[in-house]
């Protein structure tokens, strides 16, 4: 099942511009629609929607969030095998092999382009050793308050 755009859509086009699969169609200021056959169910459309006009495949309204608050992948390098499955799973292409570690020359994954991350969790789902988790980014104001 795919995500669904409800009648609350105002046609702001944020979802269509963000969709990594090109699954969202519509004209500006008109209700958009999701092509189910193209939807990869990443949920980015719902997180970016300012009108909470997107339902997940279970019919639940997806809560919109400010993009700066979207969870990002965090890697446990002690558990990571550097297999690259997380990198291959990323629909936004924001993960990449990092520089080789000095001791064993292993190139562990890194979040190379944080701004492109969709917070979809595909990297977490594909990791065979549970070395990837999603966590909210720490903002400068939070660090200063601590």
Q: What is the pLDDT of residue 104?
A: 82
- What dihedral angle (degrees, nearest 10) is formed by the CA atoms of 51, 55, 56, 62? 30
Q: How confident is the model at residue 145 (pLDDT cuts 50, 70, 90)?
A: low
* Residues 4 and 58 sit within 8 Å (Cβ to Cβ): no
**pTM of the prediction?**
0.88
Question: Once rounded to an integer, what is the mean pLDDT over residues 9-14?
Answer: 98
With a pLDDT cut of 90, the percent of the chain lying above it is: 88
pLDDT at site 64:
94
Identify the domain containing residue 52 by its residue range. Answer: 1-65
Contact status, residue 98 vs residue 69, Cβ threshold 8 Å: no
Give the CATH number for residue 135: 3.30.70.20
Span 11-33, average pLDDT:
98
For residue 143, is pLDDT > 60? no
pLDDT tens-digit series, residues 80-94: 999 999 999 999 999
Mean pLDDT of the chain: 94
* Pair 79, 38 in one domain: no
Q: Is the pLDDT of residue 103 over 90?
A: no
Averaged pLDDT, 114-122? 97
Statement to judge: residues 61 and 75 lie in one domain: no
| Domain termination residue (choose one: 65, 87, 110) | 65
Q: Report residue 140 as tokens.
A: 């400068």
Residue pLDDT, tens place only, 34-89: 999 999 999 999 999 999 999 999 999 999 999 999 999 999 999 999 999 999 99
Q: Are residues 45 and 24 in the same domain?
A: yes
pLDDT of residue 140: 55
Q: Are residues 51 and 79 in the same domain?
A: no
Task: Give me the number of domains the chain comprises.
Answer: 2
């Amino acid at each position: 099942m795919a995500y669904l755009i409800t009648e609350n859509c105002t046609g702001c086009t944020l979802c269509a511009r963000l969709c990594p699969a090109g699954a969202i169609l519509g004209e500006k200021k008109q209700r958009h629609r999701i092509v189910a056959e193209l939807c990869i169910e990443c949920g980015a459309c719902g997180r970016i929607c300012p009108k909470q006009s997107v339902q997940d495949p279970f019919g639940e309204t997806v809560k919109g969030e400010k993009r700066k608050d979207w969870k990002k992948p965090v890697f446990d390098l002690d558990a990571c095998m550097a297999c690259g499955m997380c990198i291959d799973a990323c629909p936004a292409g924001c993960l990449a092999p990092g520089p080789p570690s000095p001791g064993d020359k292993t190139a562990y994954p890194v979040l190379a382009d944080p701004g492109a991350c969709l917070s979809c969790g595909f990297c977490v789902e594909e990791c065979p050793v549970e070395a990837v988790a999603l966590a909210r980014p720490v903002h400068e104001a939070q660090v200063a308050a601590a």
